[in-house]
Structure 1
Amino acid sequence: LEALVSGSNSSSHFLSTCGYGSSGDQSEERLRRKLRFFFMNPIEKWQSKRRFPYKFIVQVFKIILVTVQLCLFAHNRYNHVNYSWDNRIAFSHLFLKGWDATREVNAYPPAVGNLALYKIDDFYSTLDYAVVGYANLTNAIGPYSYAEEDNTMTPPVLCLHQYKEGIIYGFNESYIFNSEIVTHCLNFTLGHNITRTVFSSKGFLEANNFQINFSALVQATLDFSVKTVNFKAAGPITPPDCYKFDIQEPYTLRGKVLHMPVVTRIVTSREMPMSAIVIFNRDITVTKITQLINQWVTCVELGTGAGRVVMANLYFQFRHPIEPYLDQMEVMCRMYAGEPLIITADANAKSPMWHSRVVIRGDRRNDAGRPCRRGQALEELISGHGLEVVNQPVNAPTYKGRAGVTTNIDVTLCNAECVAMVEGWRVVNDVMISDHNMIVFDITMGRVA
């Protein structure tokens, strides 16, 4: 009996142990199946569960979509680069005297040397060739037109970058030299009767008392713009591409603020600057006010032995609300209250306070019959901080649009501590290539003017 009972207990114990081991194996098998499912590819998952692979289809669709986008972008970019290169070759034939087709073949070593000038007569004849080619733009096979909306010819601009003094007396090995580089620009105002035989750049420069000292000449550029339309880029949905080419002879690309001598100090923000302050005088100490500088605002402190003045330059983007720019101006006025402060701004705002015509037909930013809201907001800030408007009424307009609209949207301001320093405010017309004219004024501060 004891043996039977003992056997029964042992058997019961054995059965219980076997039952526990079977349950653990099933759990382990379920865990393995789950893990194996996570490592399956979409097809194996579909074969295992018979579920439609939505995520897989979405990923495939994204891959196809991104690939198509990249191919379309590459195709458009390829067409754009080719079209630009073809036009560059066309411009070389139209405006560069002595250009030859052998220069268009990229080969190493190159078949010909650089296109250069060695005689003064060649310099003037090259200018004549470019200006006459620009005046006879309609003779080009390509569909080129002038940059103005009414297709009127804007005068090309000749800019000379020269040393301030550069005279060489070779016979006794002496010279007069000043390393400061100065830039002078002149518009080639052309008549409607310009042909290939009548224009003389040399005579035009002499008539305008525009002297070229070739021994001091650093760089000469001739700038103008043309427009064209590329029909080949058009498709069933996309319209043709419109291009505006800014042409400069000789072609230069320095990656810096253009047309500024190397001796200048240029203050801007680091990323995509829309405003800048350029200092030519080396005797002036310049301190950047970094906490006030951004893409749209440049602010510096200019100092001499006679004193200092804070100067700020702002660009009000016309597509942006004016309030953020006014907030930055208010910060400046509060920081430098009681100190000389000058603010220059392309405000893109109109007001009688700075002698602009407030109502202009067709101006989308200023409905006819209504005052300019941007101008009113700027007026309130000027009055609130006691600023003085330096703009003078008897001057050329500060802005001239492509459609011939002229007005004053550039403002020069100063506080009470700086009113006596600023004098001689004036607008110099037809000097800049920009649609804004140059504004000039003197700052009298001790021996610096």
Structure 2
Amino acid sequence: MHEGRQVTSDNFNDMQPSSAEFDRMQQDILETLSASDRKDGERLRRHLQFFFMDPITKWKMRHQFPFKLVLQIFKIVFISVQLMLFAELRMLHVDFMDETHAVIRHKFLKNWNNERDTLIYPPSSGRYSVYTGTDIVNQFAFMVVAVSFSSFFMCYYSIREDSFASFSYDTLRNQDIDTSVQVDNPKFVDDISIDDIPPMQFCLKKIANVTVFNNTYEFDVSEVNDCVLLKFNKNEVEEIRRNASSLRKFLEERKITFKPEDALIISKGVLSFNLRTIHFSTISTDERPECFLIQVSIIFDNSRHTGQVYISLSTVISYVTLCNGRVVHGGGVLTVSIAIFIIDVLVLLMCIASLVLCCRALLRAHLLKLVSLKFFFCV
């Protein structure tokens, strides 16, 4: 067996020459060269030493201001400020979406309370659901038009009058496009007739057919999707407001039924409609009112066919340019907006300058490598 000294990391470090010893070794090697090669070697050594120095050491040696280091420090500071501003705006937008979703649930889901908005484990109440066809019709009636005399209850056909928020229907009229019209006494809620309110859409997902004969069930499980536009006139809305059960008759006229024999056929029902709202914030970085489109979907889930129909509400909120012409922007430009624009421009310029300096450093390193290889190859 070959016996030798085991080299550990500590031993290896002890074997490394010190800086003074390394300089002496370099000097001994240079003295063996010719005068011209020795001169080139000295120049190459100085270049290599300076290239691998840190910015502070370079500053001490040349007394030259480290503008590249200062540029990186300023870039980090400005990018941090930019991220803080973006996070503030983003957090505001997320809060707006969550609060709007909560408001929609309170307005369109009957008897929804604040306890259901709080995420706790175990939950204080079960899943929001109904158990009979009458409950489905009453829930449906509440979504279509308020069936309670309390002013806190509202629904689709009275959302503009009864809501404290700036909700409006997804409509676009001719006067919305003309921005030159000046209104002396603008109203926060426009007058709109029931005929101008866009219809809701109700889609039923069900199996094709269920036949019961001689205590035997025959299922045709192929899926069928039926969608109907629900547009009620003024008389129907008033009658539903007086008597919620009258909605069953109006739905049957539109071929929508919730009879006991439909329990095995209907798997899911989705009521969908669109609303618009205005978001206005008073924080210094975002004071402009913005318009948003809210796509609301209320799902009646009977996919388990257990008699318990789960009800859930989902919203998709997206930015739009028009809110029925009710948003008037101020004439001036905010000082904060100018400051944010300046910060964005400075960050862009500093990033470009940093990229150019990095490319320059890589190019100089490559050229220095070629010079070093050429020198040692010739020597």
Provide closer, same or farther for how the CA distance between residues 110 and 167 of structure 1 changes in structure 2, counting only shifts above 3 A: farther
- Is residue 288 of structure 2 the alignment partner of residue 242 of structure 1? no
Pairwise CA distance, 1:251: 8.5
CA distance, structure 2, for counterparts of residue 57 and residue 192 of structure 1: 70
Q: Go from structure 1 to structure 2 and tell me whether the alpha carbon gap of 1:49 and 1:175 turns closer, same or farther (over 3 Å shift).
A: same
Partner of 1:201: 247
Tell whether the 8 Å contact from 2:202 to 2:227 is kept in structure 1 after alignment.
Answer: yes
Mapped to 2, the partners of 1:236 and 1:70 lie a distance apart of 13
Work out which of the residue numbers 179, 184, 196 in structure 1 matches 2:226: 184
**Equivalent residue for 1:93?**
106
TM-superposition CA deviations, 1:381-428 (whole Å, max 9, x none): xxxxxxxxxxxxxxxxxxxxx99xxxxxxxxxxxxxxxxxxxxxxxxx
CA contact (8 A) 2:277 2:292 kept: yes
Which position in structure 2 is the counterpart of 1:5? none
By how many angstroms is 1:32 displaced? Answer: 4.0
3-state DSSP class of the match of 1:239? coil
Letter of the structure 2 residue corresponding to residue 53 of structure 1: P
Q: Which runs of 5+ in 2 are unaligned?
A: 1-29, 146-154, 174-191, 302-323, 326-379
Q: Note the C-alpha offset of 1:93.
A: 0.7
The structure with higher relative contact order (CA 8 Å, sep 6+) is: 2
Structure 1 contact 234–240 (Cα < 8 Å) conserved: no
Would you say the 8 A contact 1:79–1:233 is kept in 2? Answer: no
Paired letter, 1:87: T
Between the aligned partners of 1:18 and 1:141, the Cα distance in structure 2 is 91
User: Percent identity among equivalent residues?
Assistant: 29
More helix by share: 2
Q: TM-score, normalised by structure 2?
A: 0.55
Q: Separation in 1 of the partners of 2:114 and 2:90?
A: 25
- Matching residue within 114, 132, 154 for 1:119: 132
Counterpart residue number, 1:226: 275
Please give the secondary structure, in 1, of the residue aligned with 2:130: coil
Amino acid at match of 2:201: V
- In the TM superposition, 1:420-431 aligns within 5 A as none
State the shift of 1:250 in Å: 1.9
Could you say which residue in structure 1 is the equivalent of 2:152?
none
Shift of 1:30: 4.6
Deviation at residue 205 of structure 1 after TM alignment = 1.2
The one-character-per-residue Cα deviations of 1:269-313 (angstroms, maximum 9, x if unpaired) are xxxxxxxxxxxxxxxxxxxxxxxxxxxxxxxxxxxxxxxxxxxxx
Q: Which moved more, 1:88-97 or 1:60-69?
A: 60-69
Scaled by the length of structure 1, what TM-score is found? 0.47
State the alpha-carbon separation in 1 of the partners of residues 167 and 77 from structure 2. 39
Pick from 159, 166, 170: which aligns with 1:147?
170
CA contact (8 A) 1:161 1:182 kept: yes
RMSD: 3.2
Residues 248 and 257, structure 2, Cα contact 8 Å, conserved in 1: no
**Shift of the alpha carbon at 1:120?**
0.7
Q: Contact conserved, 2:31 with 2:38, CA < 8 A, in 1?
A: no
Which structure's residues are more often strand, by fraction?
1
Mapping of residues 361-400 of structure 1, within 5 Å:
none
- Report the secondary structure of 2:228's partner residue: strand
Within 5 Å, which residues of 2 pair with 1:126-165?
A: 126-132=139-145, 133-137=155-159, 138-150=161-173, 152-165=196-209
User: CA shift at 1:51, angstroms?
Assistant: 2.2
SS class of match (1:246): strand
Cα deviation for residue 186 of structure 1 reads 1.8
Residue type at the aligned position of 2:53:
M
- After TM superposition, give the deviation of residue 183 of structure 1 in Å: 1.3
- Cα distance, 1:64 vs structure 2: 3.0
How many residues are matched? 236
